[in-house]
A and B are shown apart, each in its own frame.
Chain A
Amino acid sequence: DTGVSQNPRHKITKRGQNVTFRCDPISEHNRLYWYRQTLGQGPEFLTYFQNEAQLEKSRLLSDRFSAERPKGSFSTLEIQRTEQGDSAMYLCASSLAVKIPNYGYTFGSGTRLTVV
């Protein structure tokens, strides 16, 4: 297992287009999280799944954003009608639903989205 994998690493899109990112978590991890990081800021929570259930969504996740984890394994994050303000690094993390020293959070390397 090579950790949390995110694809693509980089995405450049025109304003108004739809984009979809994929995250493959560590295989035994049942929790999956999406965060967004803009320049000069720390990661901000967007949403998380336990297995296939989406348990929490941030107010940052507008109607144009949708996340799925259909079989409780990989997840996709779709942004519809992209805006320039969506330009950011989108980070995925996974963990087990148990308390261990760092809550088992392992981050992927992220997908950097640039909306032009």
Chain B
Amino acid sequence: DQQVKQNSPSLSVQEGRISILNCDYTNSMFDYFLWYKKYPAEGPTFLISISSIKDKNEDGRFTVFLNKSAKHLSLHIVPSQPGDSAVYFCAVLNTGNQFYFGTGTSLTVIP
């Protein structure tokens, strides 16, 4: 039972354009959501988070949007840069301070 779904395994975007990564979750009780970025041979690194009391959180080029009624989370990166090429995981906080992760979306930013 996949609690968090990322339906796009890969995404290619031209440098300078917007990258939009999507994530759907199943449980309306989840109240904290995060995006992680992962390069090959490294562990995931935290990118940005949002709590359920908000619908948008922005940090530089990265913005996370939360649509609670649709149980949908998205990450916007603008402008996209080649260094953003990585696998992006969305994650939701479960009880006990553990996370459910999605399956990841591999982003390629083409120079």
Interface positions of A (Cβ within 8 A of B) = 4, 31, 33, 40-45, 48, 55-56, 91, 93, 95, 97, 101-103, 105-110
B102 cross-chain contacts in A, Cβ below 8 A: 42
Contact of B42 among A31, A95, A109 (CB under 8 A): A109
Contact of B14 with A by CB under 8 A = no
Interface positions of B (Cβ within 8 A of A) = 4, 6, 9, 32, 34, 41-46, 49, 89, 91, 93-94, 96-104
Contact B96 A48 (CB under 8 A): yes
A4 cross-chain contacts in B, Cβ below 8 A: 43
Contact B103 A109 (CB under 8 A): no
Contact A43 B103 (CB under 8 A): no
Contact of A43 among B32, B42, B96, B101 (CB under 8 A): B101
Contact of A56 among B32, B42, B96, B104 (CB under 8 A): B96
Contact of A102 among B9, B34, B100, B104 (CB under 8 A): B34
Query: Shortest beta-carbon distance, B81 to chain A, in Å?
Result: 22
A40 cross-chain contacts in B, Cβ below 8 A: 9, 103-104
Contact B43 A93 (CB under 8 A): yes
A43 cross-chain contacts in B, Cβ below 8 A: 44, 89, 99, 101
Which residue of chain B is the closest to A104 with respect to CB atoms? B46
**Alpha-carbon gap, A103 to B94, bound state (A):** 12
Please give 20 more A-B residue pairs, beta carbons under 8 A apart, in addition to A33-B98, A41-B104, A93-B43.
A4-B43, A31-B97, A40-B103, A40-B104, A42-B4, A42-B6, A42-B89, A42-B101, A42-B102, A42-B104, A43-B99, A45-B94, A48-B97, A91-B43, A95-B97, A101-B49, A103-B32, A107-B44, A109-B41, A110-B43
**Alpha-carbon gap, A91 to B34, bound state (A):** 18
Using known A-B contacts A101-B49, A102-B49, determine if residue A45 contacts B42 with beta carbons closer than 8 Å. Answer: no
A91 cross-chain contacts in B, Cβ below 8 A: 43-44
